[in-house]
Chains A and B, each alone.
Chain A
């Protein structure tokens, strides 16, 4: 199986309103794809449906992860199979130190795969090296996850989790928004460090700039609940120049 992700003719309703209207998207193993599109066009919805969030009615279509249909799986089962979503708006978990959360997540995945729990020294070593790469200081790791984190800190914490969980399919929902120029570089480097032949990525963004750092193999334009055009990285530049108007459907 050479495709990591296949979304086939996906139709999704939220509260009786159709949001996704036949999404088709194939990401081969080792490739990084970008999705760009207007506010409200359904990009986050797609990422949530992939991850298995409740409240979405899938009326048609399927999603295959590494060849396996995942639509019937619980969110945690999908995570254990290697799907990771970096949230557009990361959620606060009061009272749970970032470090504690990381360990809980890593061990939960190991347990689900029938592996031994991590030994604390090994865990500490891994966290420290990943945190160093992302320039996250240890004080932040002791604070409750995402509580009082700045926008940029939240995004970094997402990438930290990804770096530790080592998923095979990573989805980034506007990870660049809220990052300053330096942070954008650091985070991109963190992401690039994880790129390899067995890992695929889907980068949702509004800004071409991110794609200078994380260079995509394919760029997709998302409009009104489906992908309307795909091309190479130059498509992003073109979009930046001309906007989305040419892709709007006359209704």
Chain B
């Protein structure tokens, strides 16, 4: 069986390599003379993207309005992040990743990256896709199609009325839903990066769960491959109607080689009465090399709206990649009795910088929230937790519990905790616990005495440190996350 599949894979790749993939798939080589969009950002680029996506007029207008607003905005600088100014005129906003020349075969890929894939147990063909080998992506699509995973999956979901498609498709197929919900959680003018995203987003996912439906599977696991080429500016929208439930897994658990410097995604979640949305992310973009060169700048806006009474949204994130991470998945607890949760593992090594946390905005009565954040800093990295817990005047009996633990490995890295609390009524109970610890020489020696080498010892201790959060991950992610932690911390001791 496995052998047969491998043959299909190889054949398909070979076939695909025969044709000029880019021209075949995107077909715009002729109208712009090269296979990249023009460099930089302008109104024309926004029009170009909208045209590429074959979008309706109202969408183009929406993008252009966002672009107008964005022109008046300034890049925020309050985060504890230090990076050279990003020159937007140096960026290709519609660089379909395949159009930037990638390696021709796995032989041309950074051996360290391949070593990592091997450790994660990723099959060869997937490795090729992840590493951006030209032609591989389409081959994978083809293979997937041939075994019709996509179709069976979609059909099964459709039976219960669930919509799960790309946001580009949704704009064309379900314009009423898009018009009703898009930018209702993260307003168009929310922040510099999210507004930019409105103007130039290229793709992302759309999920709609009808009333009373419990989504029968974790969404998006197998999309690991298909989602990769959604580009720098992803846009995701998930709507859970009354009494529904969905668990969505985002991302890719293998580090991706990516030439794009700037990523600015927007994710919006809407939970109606009694609905529950569980959103899990494993972020493992290229973190740059040991000297801090290269790597992704990741500026993400993720927000969930607990719109109905007794609704629940929970964010779980494992952040191990990117050179710069700026990310605060938040919950607006609007419905009475609604609940928000944020579980986070953020690991930084070498010269990575992370400024991440959450906002829990309590608006309704008897709302509750829970925050568990585990930051691990190694090498020369900087790791900041930034959190806001606020309660409105009407949010009587609002409760929050925050636990924020930092673990330092070595003495050249930094961990910081920046909690903000605003309580506008007296019945609020907010609890905050924070600890900072180091892996002690005693712990390391003890583990080594039992036969673990220094790296294995650190990985084991770190896995123990993050246990509370790992337990909240869907099964699919647990094992991979543990492996990922080990890989991210390589070279952090000794």
Contacts and interface: CB of A to CB of B under 8 A. Distances in A.
Interface of A: 51-55, 74-76, 79-80, 84-85, 87, 90-96, 100-101, 104-106, 108-109, 112, 144, 161, 165
B451 A79 contact: yes
Contacts of B443: 91-93
Contacts of B44: none
The 7 tightest CB contacts between A and B, nearest first, are A95-B464, A96-B464, A109-B451, A105-B450, A75-B448, A91-B446, A95-B467
B322 to A, nearest CB: 25
A21 B452 CA distance: 31
B449 A104 contact: no
Interface stretch (B114-122, B207-215, B453-461): B453-461
Nearest to B457: A76
19 contacts: A51-B445, A52-B449, A54-B441, A75-B448, A87-B449, A91-B446, A93-B447, A94-B464, A95-B463, A95-B467, A96-B460, A96-B461, A96-B464, A104-B460, A108-B452, A108-B456, A109-B450, A112-B453, A165-B450
A94 B446 CA distance: 13
Q: Name the residue among B450, B453, B457 with the largest chain A CB count within 10 angstroms.
A: B450
B445 A54 contact: yes
Nearest to A80: B451
Interface in B328-342: none
Interface in B422-474: 440-443, 445-454, 456-457, 460-461, 463-468
A93 B463 CA distance: 10
A74 B453 contact: yes
A98 B19 CA distance: 56
A108 B465 contact: no
A112 B449 contact: no
A85 B451 contact: no
B463 A85 contact: no
Contacts of A93: 443, 446-447, 460-461, 464
A55 B444 CA distance: 13
Q: Name the residue among A87, A104, A165 with the largest chain B CB count within 10 angstroms.
A: A104
Nearest to B456: A108
A55 to B, nearest CB: 8
Given A75-B449, A96-B460, A106-B451, 10 more contacts: A52-B448, A52-B449, A74-B453, A74-B454, A76-B450, A79-B451, A93-B443, A94-B465, A95-B468, A112-B451
Interface of B: 440-443, 445-454, 456-457, 460-461, 463-468
A104 B486 CA distance: 13
A108 B450 contact: yes
Contacts of A100: 460, 464
A69 to B, nearest CB: 19
Contacts of A95: 463-468
Contacts of A74: 448, 453-454
Contact of B451 (A52, A92, A144, A165): A165
A60 B408 CA distance: 36
Contacts of B465: 94-95
A95 B471 CA distance: 11
A32 to B, nearest CB: 20
Nearest to B374: A95
B441 to A, nearest CB: 7
Nearest to A96: B464
A144 B465 CA distance: 11
Nearest to A94: B464
A106 B443 CA distance: 17
A94 B453 CA distance: 19
Q: Name the residue among B440, B446, B451, B466 with the largest chain A CB count within 10 angstroms.
A: B451
B464 A104 contact: no
Contact of B448 (A76, A96, A161, A165): A76
B464 A144 contact: yes
Contacts of B448: 52, 74-76, 79
B442 A91 contact: yes
A54 B445 CA distance: 8
B443 to A, nearest CB: 5
Contacts of A112: 451, 453
Nearest to A113: B451
Contacts of B454: 74, 76
Nearest to A106: B451
Contacts of B451: 76, 79-80, 105-106, 108-109, 112, 165
Contacts of A87: 446, 449
A104 B463 CA distance: 12
B413 to A, nearest CB: 20
A20 B152 CA distance: 72
A74 B465 CA distance: 25
Contacts of A96: 460-461, 463-464, 467
Contacts of B440: 91
A84 B451 CA distance: 9
